[in-house]
Structure 1
Amino acid sequence: MALIKSVRGFTPQIGENCYLADNATIIGDVIMGHDCSIWFNAVLRGDVNAIRIGNRVNIQDGSVLHTLYQKSVVEIGNNVSVGHNVTIHGATIKDGALIGMGATVLDHAIVGEGAIVAAGALVLSNTIIEPGSLWAGVPAKFIKKIPPEQSRELNEKIANGYLMYASWFKDEEINETNK
């Protein structure tokens, strides 16, 4: 069972039909929408400030979400995919964005709607990534605009895949309970 821990009077709030991996950690001031999945070894640390997550968001294995005390929050819109081993620290990720594996997005950065942050990219504090654009590199820089339908198709494919994967684990949990 995932570690869900209250701190400073805040208890995480988890929406309906969410999957939390056995060793996922969700702490403090975290509010999560519906149909989300938080995968193995992911940590959502809302101990020093707020983390807000929309609907149909997948936070993949080993990712860490954290903030700065009284200075930054994490806000993630709807239909967002956060790849394996991503760090999001006090940043805003808008609807339909994709954060690639191993990327880091720092305080007060804004990743626009339908934007893609490439695997391994470092998005510096206060960077504003335009909607529908691809950014890559260390530090991350604009690469190109992405047609909205291409971005939407890619992210929907990933999001739907993670809903399917989550259902496999939920089915196993039901089967274990019924034994």
Structure 2
Amino acid sequence: MLIASVKQLRMILGKALRETGQAIDRAGSSMTRDVAYMERYSRHRKLMPLDQLWPSHGKSFIAPNASLIGEVLVGTNCAIMYGAVLRGDISALRIDDNVIIGENTIVQTVGLLPDGIPKSVTIASGVLVEPHCSLTSCVVDTGVWICTGSVVQQGAKLEQGCILLPGSVVSPGFTVPAFSVFGGSPAKMVRDVSLKDLEAFQDALKKASEQAQRNDELLTSLGH
């Protein structure tokens, strides 16, 4: 009975202190004209440890309302954009350097796959994942372009330089060959990657990186 009362008291006291701190923070932000306190979502970066598994990242842009949960390892010069959720709560999620994860994209893992198929997510360097995509326990090689709204299911592999057209769905365990363009549901080969495709990819990757840098500079100027 006493232990339960102590726990309840701690909960009440903790909630009161937290709400008081938030009120003071809002008042101070308003007085210094820091508009960040008006953010609809949490304006604090969500790096969520699970047990002893802590997310980590190099010098990269992590949007204030993006979530990195559990064993998530992000390299340098990456951008995890607004509303993106990276879940390493079941298996590891590893992202190399110079990778863009677009707005509201979900990258997650599963706990059970056939023998020999990794349950983790591995994304190599120079990859562009556009907004509203879903990636689950897959391997993404270097220079891959995953366009808006695409779904990559568990056990799939995207080989170097391939492109998924908007809304593509890659079936579980399927391998998209290197330097090929796939589209549809389920995704099927459309054609080989052309020089024009490569130029468009580099342009899109550059624009996404520059946008992330501008966002980072803006948030820094606002005191984040």
What interval of TM-score do these two structures reach, taking the shorter chain for normalisation? over 0.9
Unaligned runs of 5+ in 1: none
The 5 A counterparts of 1:20-99 are 20-69=62-111, 71=113, 72-99=119-146
CA positional deviation for 1:69? 1.4
Listed as ranges, the gaps of 5+ residues in structure 2 are 1-43, 114-118
Higher RCO structure, 1 or 2 (CA under 8 Å, sep 6+):
1
Q: 1:85 to 1:109 in 2, by over 3 A?
A: same
Deviations 1:22-45 (A, max 9, x none): 110001111111100011110000
Whether 2:213 is the aligned partner of 1:170: answer no
Secondary structure at 2:68 match in 1 = strand
- Specify which of 189, 193, 201 is matched with residue 155 of structure 1: 201
TM normalised by structure 1 equals: 0.93
Distance 2:169 2:112 in 1: 23
1:49/1:70 contact within 8 Å kept? no
The equivalent residue for 1:122 is: 169
Q: Which runs of 4+ in 1 moved over 6 A?
A: none
Aligned sequence identity (%)? 24
Separation in 1 of the partners of 2:196 and 2:112?
37
Q: Higher Cα Rg: structure 1 or 2?
A: 2
Deviations 1:107-163 (A, max 9, x none): 11111111001111110011111100011001111111113x444322221221122
**Cα root mean square deviation, aligned:** 1.4
Using the size of structure 2 for normalisation, the TM-score is: 0.75
| Cα deviation digits, residues 12-66 of structure 1 (max 9, x gap) | 11012x1111110001111111100011110000000011111111100110001
Contact kept, 8 Å, 1:114 with 1:151, in 2: the verdict is no
- Name the one with the larger helix percent: 2
Corresponding residue number in structure 2 for 1:3: 46
Number of equivalences: 176
User: Cα distance 1:84–1:9, how it changes in 2: closer, same or farther (>3 A)?
Assistant: same
Q: Counterpart of 1:156 in structure 2: which amino acid? A: Q
SS at match of 1:7: coil
